[in-house]
Structure 1
Amino acid sequence: MDQTFARRYRLTKTDEFSSVFGFRRAIRGQWLMLHYQPRSEGSARLGLVVGKKLLKRAVDRNRVKRIVREQFRSRRADLPMVDIVVRLAAKPVRPLDGKALAGDLLVLFDKLKRPAKPRPVAA
C-alpha cells in the first residue's frame, strides 16, 4: 500500500479549498474542525489551514500541520472519497500536546466514516 503524501493526495489550489468551504459540511472536535466535500473518483485529499491568529509561533503551526499530515497519511486508505480541509477551531493549550491533537483528528476521521443520520423533515 502506498503510504506517501504525494501531490495527488493534497488540495493545492485556492478553488479546491473554496469548493470544500462552500459545500458547508463540517465536523468539529475539541481543537480541530474538519470541513469535507464528497468526490466522484480518486481517494481522499487533504488541505490544511493553520493561521497565526490561534498559534503565533511558526514552530507550533508547523507541528500541528506535521501531526495532521502524518495521521492522514497513515489512515488515507480507510477514508471515504472526500476532499478534507482541517483547520484549528480552538487555541490548543501550551505546551502543544501532539497525542491529544492526533486523537482529536482520529475521532473526526471516525465520525466522517460513519454514514450521516437523515434529518427529520419539518412539516
Structure 2
Amino acid sequence: MPFSLLAAPRAASAWLYKPESGEVDQSFARRYRLTKTDEFSSVFGFRRAIRGKLLMLHYQPRAAGMTDARLGLVVGKKLLKHAVDRNRLKRIVREQFRLRRASLPVMDIVVRLAVKPAPLDGKQIADDIVMLFDKLQRPRPKRENE
C-alpha cells in the first residue's frame, strides 16, 4: 500500500519540520522527558518542590552543559481511578510544558497530583500548572542564614 499524507497526517507533519528554516521546535520529543526510574528518584531525592492547588512540582537543576528542561509525570490510581482522567491530566500538563519549555529554566521537573480533584476540570489544571511554572521561573530570595 503506498504512503498517503491523508492516511498519516501526524507522521507526515513530523517529517516536514526543517530546523534550518528558523521555526521554533515545539514538539514533546524524547529528549524533553524523564524516562528512567533513576531520573525520577534523583528529582524526588533533591527534595525541592512547589505546591499548587491540585499539583505538586518537584524540580532539580540539570548538570552543566545541558540546555533543555525535561518533564516527568506521576499520576497514581489512588487519586484518579479512571485511566481516561489520568491520561487527560497528563495531556494537559504536557501541552502546557510544551508551550512554555523554551522559557523554563534548565531543570528536571516531575509533576504529580497532590490532591484528588472533585470533578476533573481541565481549565483549573492548566491554570495550576502555569502558576507552578511561573513560580519556578522566578528567582528564589536568599535567606539570611544561607
TM band (smaller chain): over 0.9
CA–CA distance in 1 between the matches of 2:30 and 2:105? 18
- TM-score w.r.t. structure 2 length? 0.81
1:120 paired to 2:144: yes
In structure 1, the partner of 2:54 is: 31
Q: Which runs of 5+ in 1 are unaligned?
A: none
CA–CA distance in 2 between the matches of 1:73 and 1:92? 23
CA radius of gyration, larger in = 2
Supply the AA of the counterpart residue of 1:113.
Answer: Q
C-alpha RMSD of the superposition: 1.0
Tell me the SS of whatever aligns to 2:42.
Answer: helix
CA–CA distance in 2 between the matches of 1:118 and 1:28? 19
Deviation at 1:15, TM superposition (A): 0.4
Tell me the SS of whatever aligns to 1:3.
Answer: coil
Tell me the SS of whatever aligns to 2:28.
Answer: coil
Deviation at 1:118, TM superposition (A): 1.1
Of 60, 64, 69, which aligns to 1:44?
Answer: 69
Tell me the SS of whatever aligns to 2:132.
Answer: helix
Of 40, 43, 56, which aligns to 2:81?
Answer: 56
Q: For residues 74-99 of structure 1, give each alpha carbon's deviation from its aligned partner in whole angstroms, at most 9, with x where no partner exists.
A: 110010000000000011121x1101
Deviation at 1:29, TM superposition (A): 0.1
Tell me the SS of whatever aligns to 1:27.
Answer: strand
Deviation at 1:117, TM superposition (A): 1.1
CA–CA distance in 1 between the matches of 2:93 and 2:84? 14
- TM-score w.r.t. structure 1 length? 0.96
Identical pairs, percent: 75
